[in-house]
Amino acid sequence: MAFMMKLAYHLISDFPKLWVQVLKGKYDWDEMIPLTLRCSNVSRLLYGIGQIWEEVKDSICWHVGNWVNTDFWYDHWVDSDGRLVTFYNRNESPRPIAITDMTDANGR
């Protein structure tokens, strides 16, 4: 499992590497961190990573930076509370949205 976690981390953090670009291109991933890796007809490697993907996503926290590439609801950008979607209490799930789209020009 540790090996799969390490590979999953490299899928997220090592975009310039050729093997990461090939996998992301082959499976048409547009997001930095896809919500799911469950696809049909995937390699055994990707199937194994897909089995632990939720755990990987829940373990990630990063510096927000310019707020463009960080999803307000689904990314783990709040240190102590995890992903904000867990506190969303309506019947439907919220649509992914960047933090910049939830703030004004002053970042408030």
Q: Where are the domains of the chain?
A: 2-58, 62-108
> For the segment 24-54, what is each residue's pLDDT rounded down to a tens digit?
888 887 777 777 776 678 788 888 888 888 8
- pLDDT of 67: 67
Q: Residue 70: name the closest of 96, 99, 94 by CA.
A: 99
Tell me the residue length of the chain.
Answer: 108
Task: Assess contact for 10 and 20: CB atoms under 8 A.
Answer: yes
pTM, 2 dp = 0.54
Task: Assess contact for 64 and 77: CB atoms under 8 A.
Answer: yes
> If you average pLDDT over residues 66-73, what whole number do you get?
75
Q: Residue 71: name the closest of 29, 31, 99, 32 by CA.
A: 99
Whether the pLDDT of residue 62 is over 70: the answer is: no
- Give the CA radius of gyration of the chain: 15
Fill in the DSSP letter of residue 54.
H
